[in-house]
Amino acid sequence: MQFTAKEINLLLNGTLEGNPDVKVSQLAKIEEAQEGALSFLANPKYEAFLYTTNASVVIVNEDLIIDKPISSTLIKVKDAYSSFSILLERYNSLKLNKKGIEEPSFIHPDATIGKDVYIGAFAYIAAGAQIGDNTKIYPQCYIGDDVKIGNDCSIQAGAKIYHDCIIGNKVTIHASTVIGSDGFGFAPQQDGSYVKVNQIGNVVIEDNVEIGANTCIDRATMGSTIIRKGVKLDNLIQIAHNAEIGKNTVIASQTGISGSAKIGESNIIGGQVGVVGHVSLAKGTQIQAKSGINKSIEEENKKWGGAPAQTYQSYMRSQVIIQRLPEMERKIEELQKLIKRMQENLPK
Amino acid sequence: MQFTAKEINLLLNGTLEGNPDVKVSQLAKIEEAQEGALSFLANPKYEAFLYTTNASVVIVNEDLIIDKPISSTLIKVKDAYSSFSILLERYNSLKLNKKGIEEPSFIHPDATIGKDVYIGAFAYIAAGAQIGDNTKIYPQCYIGDDVKIGNDCSIQAGAKIYHDCIIGNKVTIHASTVIGSDGFGFAPQQDGSYVKVNQIGNVVIEDNVEIGANTCIDRATMGSTIIRKGVKLDNLIQIAHNAEIGKNTVIASQTGISGSAKIGESNIIGGQVGVVGHVSLAKGTQIQAKSGINKSIEEENKKWGGAPAQTYQSYMRSQVIIQRLPEMERKIEELQKLIKRMQENLPK
Amino acid sequence: MQFTAKEINLLLNGTLEGNPDVKVSQLAKIEEAQEGALSFLANPKYEAFLYTTNASVVIVNEDLIIDKPISSTLIKVKDAYSSFSILLERYNSLKLNKKGIEEPSFIHPDATIGKDVYIGAFAYIAAGAQIGDNTKIYPQCYIGDDVKIGNDCSIQAGAKIYHDCIIGNKVTIHASTVIGSDGFGFAPQQDGSYVKVNQIGNVVIEDNVEIGANTCIDRATMGSTIIRKGVKLDNLIQIAHNAEIGKNTVIASQTGISGSAKIGESNIIGGQVGVVGHVSLAKGTQIQAKSGINKSIEEENKKWGGAPAQTYQSYMRSQVIIQRLPEMERKIEELQKLIKRMQENLPK
């Protein structure tokens, strides 16, 4: 896609200085921009780049005082950062605006497909599945029996959703993520073998959730594994059966939430964290990367760290003391010597 | 699927009390059940729910004494829990009973396909591959050249099995899991670059194994990476080249087993554990979540924890003492002061 | 594939002893080899196996002194190990030598396809994508809009590459790996919800890179996430947006590199390591498995361990002292008792 400076200025309702016909075809940071790129300057810290950049067009704040010659075409607006965000949105919605049903795809006659959808080639929509309006199902996705997907969702290439799962509106699921695979439940037998516990529940994902790539959310044994409204999950995360992730909680990559754990609202959980099964985390809990949570957290809005996790302050203190351990050992030895000497010198 | 209370009672060979024509279409926990649901009461702890549940049908033990009015239809059986398990099995086998070959799929003329299989659309069966009787290959699976898969297996949507791997009978592999990708072997060169070591072995998976979603099992450099009979692997697990996982061992999510490690029989390994290469773990070893195993474990049936791992008792003791570190530091300071004072007061 | 001992000897330019017409169809270790297998003996430690092996053909060093009868056909060469490596290469290139375009596949009319490619069934090549010469795109891969892939690449079954990503020459990407999924960027709002930050950058992968299965490399917010020449990444790794992995760096399974981290050249990073965002690691840095890196490392060629990481020596010392903690506690108690007794005995 290519636009002239003039077209962009019209969209942003700004003031243009320089060549209105110069063309841009990509967006770039001001310090990295090449010819043909559109950039912006919002932070005065980067002002020096304005005089050296190769960007063809730069969006700037209208109150910026320019005191050297500039080769780029300028578009002056009230708030350069917001204007650039508008362009980003616009760019992405044009770039990613796929529509229609590509062939070959597999849509079971008993599936229900909404208006203005995109269904990529090699996507599979099983019997009883429902796909909402404006939803995009990218190539090679699997939408199992009786799955319900709401409106305005984006299910990226190769995501797999097992039967009976329910996805809300405005949900994004990235490539190769698996929703609704069997929970990990096996009953030990006398002879050392295990018998599978059938997992007949499902996964419910509420509105405005985004889930990264290669993440796994297992279906409940019975009932539902639930991802509440507004949750954001990164890549390679494990959510086990019957877990519940509270509204607006954010979880970073490679974290694992065990079975039946209830993560509270507005939690912020770092990467590579492990949470054991059947615990509850209070609203506003924050967990440092790599921590291990092995009990419920009842007080709200606290920060935790370590494995097993302590309050953040106590964790930081422990870390400091652990580094002082060699010194502690030396002190104890000195005390032992000192006392020995004192004892020898004591009047008998 | 919909069943009447009468039909279910016939199947369970119980005694029916209430409306035999009431219909149920789902299974639910007694405390969450809505109209149209079938539930059960096995644990006396939950008896109170029997009088308040909205479940249309409840399976109960025949010796249960009922002392208040109940709105649900009851089915009385010897063991309510076992009866419910039978229904779960039946429900799942009906629900998941797929058969036939969907189009378009890719089945190489040199592949051998057993009886009563399911091959979903967009599944790929390469030259020389063998698929056993009653096995289900879900949509978008990749079965590479000369792969052998036994009877009664379920290979879920999008699983990828590289050439020459061998899968036994009654094996379940969940969505997007990768079997037989190249082991991670590279020979360092003088100039700092690496040259790939060709990985020409395979993966052998024995009978009754279940493998979760997005898990990776690498092929051996030469010989086989082996998953023994009855092993259960969770999601997002890494099994490196030439590793061997012993019979009936269970491994939780996000654990990594390095190259040539030999995990013993009947081990229980928690989530996010790491095991280094070339070690052996004795039969019955148990490893706490997040542990790091950096040496072989020779004594059977022991529990380990921590990174690097210690025996579980010693790990727990260390954890407790680490929490007492600030107190230890304070004690040392006190001793130092005390001794200083003593020295000053000593007769010169 | 089947070869006679004579054919193999011709290829290796060796000296044949025994039956030149015996046929082999697989490669195996000398201690595991069965009839029909080709094996080698390079390490004198394994010489005993030469007299008991069932291998039909064994490659040996020409200076090997043989003092007992042998049933296998021998091929004597200067360097048995190198000769065997040549055969491995040859075997793999024959075994994996796929060519042509299988149907059904989806190749957009605006895509550009090189010479001698393999495109498997159910692969999707989007508009504007470019596939170089001799590159193999296995079944069920997704190559998004405007993706460029160089020559001699191997993109294994089901790998997903989002729009605009750039892949160099001789790159291997294993099954179900995701390249170019959105970076994890969300702006917190007053009401506790998050608004997505559009991720309009891409991923650039340079020449000679190999990436394992089920790994994720997120696209940059703006600019590029970069994987430099010669990098080797294992399975289930997370590389976040705008990270850069230096030339010839090797990273083991399940490690996570956070956003905008810059990993230096020739680093060796173990499994399950976490690196926080925005740090830089010097050239030649080595990180022990399971470590957590929370600050930049400026000194080159150092080894680190622990979470948070210390220099390796200091980490090892801490580990030793932690094991001595119970003893330290006992010593402190003894000192306390001793001093108490001394105080009681002091002249008042």
Residue C126 predicted with pLDDT over 60? yes
Q: Nearest 5 degrees, angle CA A232-CA A236-CA A242?
A: 70
Sequence-distant (6+) residues with CB within 8 A of A324 are B329
Structure tokens at C10: 């011709």
Task: Please tell me which residue of chain A has the smallest CA distance to B330.
Answer: A328
Average pLDDT over residues B278-303: 97
Q: Which of A142, A199, A332 to mutate to test the interface with B (most CBs of B within 10 A)?
A: A142
pLDDT digits (tens, 9 = 90+) for B177-231: 999 999 999 999 999 999 998 898 999 999 999 999 999 999 999 899 999 999 9
pLDDT digits (tens, 9 = 90+) for A255-272: 999 999 999 999 999 999
Average pLDDT over residues B7-15: 93
Of B235, B332, B347, the CB nearest to A331: B332
Distance in angstroms (rounded) separating the CA atoms of residues C160 and A264: 33
pLDDT at A208 over 80: yes
**What's the complex ipTM?**
0.90
Is the pLDDT confidence value at C242 over 90? yes
A138: Cβ contacts below 8 Å, ≥ 6 apart: A98, A118, A120, A123, A154, A155, A156, A157, A158, A159, A175, C142
Q: Give contacts of A238 with chain B, Cβ < 8 Å.
A: 234-236, 253-254, 271
Q: Tell me the C-alpha distance between B168 and B234, whole Å.
A: 18
Q: Between C124, C182, C346, which is nearest A174 by CB?
A: C182
DSSP conformation class of C346: S
- Reading the block at residue B239, the tokens are 């099994």
Point out the least confidently predicted range of A127-136, A295-304, B183-192, B338-347: B338-347
Cβ-Cβ contacts under 8 Å, C332 against chain A:
332
The whole-number average pLDDT for the span B32-40 is 91
Q: pTM for the full model?
A: 0.91
Question: Is A214 an interface residue toward C (CB < 8 Å)?
Answer: yes
C174 pLDDT above the threshold of 70: yes
Contact with chain A for residue C212, Cβ under 8 A: no
Is the preceding omega at residue C308 within 30 degrees of 0, hence cis? Answer: yes
Contact B27 A142 (CB under 8 A): no
- Residue A287's pLDDT is 98
Residues 252-281 of A with CB under 8 A from B: 254, 256, 258, 272, 274, 276
Give residue for tokens 């190749």. C107
Determine contact, residues B95/B112, Cβ cutoff 8 Å. Answer: no
What are φ and ψ of residue C244, in 5° steps? -135, 130
pLDDT of residue C276: 98
Question: Does the beta carbon of B91 lie under 8 angstroms from any beta carbon of chain A?
Answer: yes
Mean pLDDT calculated for residue range A177-201: 94
pLDDT in tens, B308-321: 999 999 888 888 88
For C253, the token pair is: 């399974």
Verify whether the Cβ–Cβ distance A210 to C196 is below 8 Å. Answer: yes
Res C285 pLDDT > 70 = yes
Q: What is the pLDDT of residues B149-179, one digit of tens each?
A: 999 999 999 999 999 999 999 999 999 999 9
How far is the alpha carbon of C16 from chain A, nearest alpha carbon, in Å? 51
> How large is the average pLDDT for residues B284-288?
98
Task: Express each pLDDT in C304-339 by its tens digit.
Answer: 999 999 999 988 888 888 888 888 888 998 888 888
Residue B32 has pLDDT above 90, yes or no: no
- A332 CB neighbours in chain B (<8 A) are 332
Is B229 within 8 Å of B251 (Cβ atoms)? no
Cβ distance B51 to B70 under 8 Å? Answer: yes
pLDDT digit string (tens) for A322-337?
888 888 888 998 888 8
C-alpha distances (whole Å) from B231 to each of A184, A186, B155, B172, B210 are 12, 11, 16, 11, 7
pLDDT band at C190 (very low <50, low <70, confident <90, very high): very high
CB contact (8 A) between residue A213 and residue C308? no
C237 in Cβ contact with C251 (< 8 Å): yes
pLDDT of residue C1: 66
Alpha-carbon gap, residue A98 to C162, rounded angstroms: 14
What is the average pLDDT across C105-109? Answer: 98
Q: Quick check: B156 and A181 in contact, CB under 8 A?
A: yes
Cis amide linkage into residue B188, ω under 30° from 0: no
Q: Residue C347: is its pLDDT beyond 80?
A: no
End-to-end CA distance of chain C: 97
Residues of B in contact with C138 (CB under 8 A): 142
For the cut 80, the answer to whether the pLDDT of residue C348 exceeds it is no
What does the pLDDT read at residue B324?
A: 84
Report which of residues A96 and B24 the model is more confident about.
B24
> A142 and B121 in contact by Cβ < 8 A?
no
B207 touches chain A (CB under 8 A): no
Q: Please calculate the CA angle A256-A259-A263 and round it to the nearest 5 degrees.
A: 65
Contact B250 A122 (CB under 8 A): no
The confidence band for A70, taking pLDDT boundaries of 50, 70 and 90, is: very high
B222 chain-C contacts, CB cut-off 8 A? 27-29
Distance CA A235, CA C103 (A): 32
Using CA atoms, how far residue C133 sits from C94, C114, C149, C156, C175, in Å, is 18, 4, 9, 16, 21
- The CA distance from B266 to the nearest CA of chain C, in Å, is 24
Which range among A22-26, A176-180, B13-17, B206-210 shows the weakest confidence by mean pLDDT? A22-26
Distance from CA of C122 to the nearest CA of A (A): 6
pLDDT averaged over every residue in chain C: 94
Contact criterion met (CB below 8 Å) for A175 and A156: yes
Q: Would you list the domain boundaries of chain A?
A: 3-95, 100-311
Q: Which residues of C198-214 are buried (b: 16+ CB within 10 A; e: fewer)?
A: bbbbbbbbbbbbbbbbb
Model confidence band, residue C112 (pLDDT cutoffs 50, 70, 90)? very high
Whether residue A174 and residue C178 make contact (CB cut-off 8 A), yes or no, is: yes
Q: Say if residue C95's pLDDT is above 80.
A: no
Considering only CB atoms, which chain B residues are within 8 Å of C289?
274, 276, 292
pLDDT in tens, B69-88: 999 999 999 999 888 888 88
* Tokens 């993560």, residue located: A263
Residue B241 annotated among the catalytic residues of the structure: yes
User: Which among B145, B140, B73 is positioned nearest to B104, based on CA atoms?
Assistant: B140
Q: Number of C-alpha atoms within 13 angstroms, CB side, residue A176?
A: 38
Cα separation of A71 and A69, whole Å? 7
Six token digits for residue B337: 């002061």
Q: Which of A241-245, A316-320, B288-292, C200-204 shows the lowest mean pLDDT across its residues?
A: A316-320
Q: Find residue C63's DSSP bridge partners.
A: none
What average pLDDT does this structure show over C272-287?
98
- CATH 3.40.1390.10 is held by the domain B3-95: yes
Dist CA C132 CA C110 (whole Å) = 15
Of B331 and A106, more confident: A106
Q: Tell which residue, A294, A5, B219, has the closest CA to residue C213.
A: B219
Radius of gyration from C-alpha coordinates of chain A:
28
Length of chain A: 348
Q: How near does any CA of chain A get to the CA of C172, in Å?
A: 18
Neighbours of chain B (3+ CB pairs under 8 A): A, C
- Nearest residue on chain C to A348, alpha-carbon basis: C345
Nearest residue in chain B measured CA to CA from C255: B256
Residue C287 — φ and ψ, nearest 5°?
-125, 125
With cut-offs at 50, 70 and 90, classify the pLDDT of residue A347. Answer: low
Among positive and negative, which fits the CA dihedral C72, C75, C76, C78?
Answer: negative
Per annotation, catalytic residue among B108, B163, B241, B278: B241
Tell whether B128 lies on the interface with C, counting CB pairs under 8 A. Answer: no
Q: Which of B124, B238, B345 sits opposite C254 (nearest CB)?
A: B238
For the domain made up of A100-311, the CATH class stated in words is mainly beta
**A342 contacts B252? CB cut-off 8 A:** no
Backbone conformation region of residue B174, classed left if phi is above 0, alpha if psi is from -120 to 50, else beta: beta
Residue A145 near chain B (CB below 8 Å): yes
